[in-house]
Structure 1
């Protein structure tokens, strides 16, 4: 251990699809740092177990469990209540674990990388005199609306004109935290404080590529010190995804091999979103009526809601699995459209493999993402009426199966796919931004 050794503190937000992309970022950075560099990864026990159980833990990543705020003997909260309890325990839970890590390893922290939600890292970094790098796990569009929270809340118009956006936005497109009644507590407060303090970060990293939202990115660059789009991170593992046949325990890829090119509808709504029973029934009725080939990632409790006899009647042209290898499916030439909740990871994956989308957003940034998919990037459609009905689902599927509109959407998403591939090439924008990020992490601030 030497005084010049890099010791990077990594602070995760342990809910939704946040901690896993942060770990992916760390794993991508690691080979470009000196061999004796070490990462201390701070996260709750449950979240650490979830993300580290899927792959061997590299020796240079030390795992630390921070308190989730749940007192011993109390029932474990779920959903919004769990987030609330965790927020109440921050930042002291991180401070305690970070002190322990420095004592155990014997090297002071040289840099802090955190989920952007954890805005208080600006105070940690200032006190330690080290760089703070904030990782925004969603797109530049949703980051922008958070930075314009005050403007949005002061606007009484039905349609909002936000700098950088080429289309007007509706209040209903906004993440609930931006327009919450009270910004003084809980999750809305966490995100509002992030918006107020993110300019203090030495770099803000996004899992996206500049060419997707150039005007929004230019506006962000006028407000933040460094805006570094380094994605899509999924494209870094493209070869592995396509060749990894061992991950097809569900048999999805073998099934897809027997289907016609761009004929299959793939349906998945993430790990958090649960559709109402009537919408699950509506999807099933539409798929059966259309007799369109489909793969549907649906948990057992959703399967129980399906119309009686549906599985038997659709067995020849449909496949339902409790878990689907999403990347391998989207990369397959038989897949023609992705029916999605519009989480950011799913959108990036869909763009990366050139698959247009049918959007049914639920919460968070999903409604804004859906608006961008349909109105700005024009690579998909929002489901008619915002909820699945039999007639609306059939109508939307018809657009992709029979009409010229579907061809245009496919051409547009193929165009973005090419731009994404260019961004991660040796001299691409994301690769150049990644080089800047590595230098930021290596930089020792003068004492």
Structure 2
């Protein structure tokens, strides 16, 4: 046991960051590496954990009483102080074990974790859960080569196609929206060049020019798409799901409903774990689905249900199913699903691309606009290269 390499992996404690980093951890474990996924007390309270090859350790994030994250500057400062301390204590404890950790893979949203790793003698690897394209834009903003707020209608950046203002992440063209989160995405680049490795959850053919530009300057590694192996390369026979969820999926209801539908007849609608649509937008979407005369499966988080028209479920009982959460990979891989209406969250986008499900993109915030452009541009380039 003492000769095995031990890697610690710590994601920011939200579903969209936990999923890809846990998948990466499982891949490492499949190679005989001892892997520990570090999560926080507040996230652990709502976790649905299944058996996995990865050990899970829980540390304090300063919100042990279950206080809801408001993503303010004060929240992030408190989170940083608490996690820096408790992570350091965990590493010190593990350092005296038979298999001490050698590497800390940390979420790029937590750049200060590199300081903890270096102080305690570990290598550090920054893990970016977003695209290289979005990261490149934020890098240029952080280093001043892309000024904000943007005044030009078109923006030119190295290795990227000409971008309109609307192709930029919402944090860039809507200055003042989510200022604390904007600061977090910029601070990813405060010390990332000091990391021993920089991992990106993407694949080179999707954004080849940007990948090549970044690789020419920094020690980046492309490790995506990080989705369960049985939905991708099928190398890991027991890797059928993410093994961990902050939400409770209504799997039986979803799959039983889909099993009774014809091939390609269902529109699957989901806007992920964070995006919040306005009440008017929810109503328009609801009536659009109702009048489309198509079957639809719509994921509406419990916190968003009050925005639905009161008559939706009654009037669509034969055509539609509305659930609070679902096993998305199972749904997307089901033969009844013919279309995915998505907010363009990066995990959802990679899942749809990997499973070959057509997408209707409704970008919401952060880098969703640019992720949409990346996918459209990639599909266009693949089509043109094949003469289609």
Calculate the TM-score normalised by the size of structure 2. Answer: 0.82
Tell me if the contact between 1:250 and 1:324 (Cα under 8 Å) persists in the aligned partners. no
Q: Report the CA distance shift for 1:324/1:123 in structure 2 as closer, same or farther (over 3 A).
A: closer
Equivalences for 1:57-68 in 2 at 5 Å?
Answer: 57-58=52-53, 61-65=55-59, 67-68=60-61
Q: Please say if 1:56 is aligned against 2:51.
A: yes
Q: Which has the higher helix share?
A: 1
Q: Counterpart of 2:80?
A: 87
Instruction: Identify the range of structure 1 (81-90 vs 203-212) with the bigger mean alpha-carbon deviation.
Output: 81-90
Q: Please say if 1:174 is aligned against 2:165.
A: no
Equivalences for 1:40-439 in 2 at 5 Å?
Answer: 40-51=36-47, 53-58=48-53, 61-65=55-59, 67-70=60-63, 76-81=67-72, 82-89=75-82, 91-103=84-96, 105=97, 107-149=99-141, 150-153=144-147, 156-170=151-165, 173-176=168-171, 186-225=180-219, 227-234=220-227, 236-238=229-231, 249-300=251-302, 302-374=304-376, 376-378=377-379
Tell me if the contact between 1:177 and 1:191 (Cα under 8 Å) persists in the aligned partners. no
Tell me if the contact between 1:341 and 1:366 (Cα under 8 Å) persists in the aligned partners. yes
Tell me if the contact between 2:342 and 2:361 (Cα under 8 Å) persists in the aligned partners. yes
SS of residue in 2 equivalent to 1:133: strand
Tell me if the contact between 1:13 and 1:19 (Cα under 8 Å) persists in the aligned partners. yes
Give 1:242 deviation, angstroms: 12
Calculate the TM-score normalised by the size of structure 1. Answer: 0.72
What is the aligned-residue RMSD (CA, Å)? 3.4
Aligned length: 369
Q: Report the CA distance shift for 1:122/1:223 in structure 2 as closer, same or farther (over 3 A).
A: farther
Tell me if the contact between 2:61 and 2:79 (Cα under 8 Å) persists in the aligned partners. yes
SS of residue in 1 equivalent to 2:90: helix
Give 1:364 deviation, angstroms: 2.0
Tell me if the contact between 1:113 and 1:135 (Cα under 8 Å) persists in the aligned partners. yes
Distance 1:10 1:189 in 2: 23
Q: Counterpart of 2:244?
A: none
Structure 2: where are the runs of 5+ without partners?
242-248
Tell me if the contact between 2:28 and 2:35 (Cα under 8 Å) persists in the aligned partners. no
Instruction: Identify the range of structure 1 (110-119 vs 249-258) with the bigger mean alpha-carbon deviation.
Output: 249-258
Give 1:76 deviation, angstroms: 1.7
Rg larger in 1 or in 2?
1
Tell me if the contact between 1:338 and 1:358 (Cα under 8 Å) persists in the aligned partners. yes
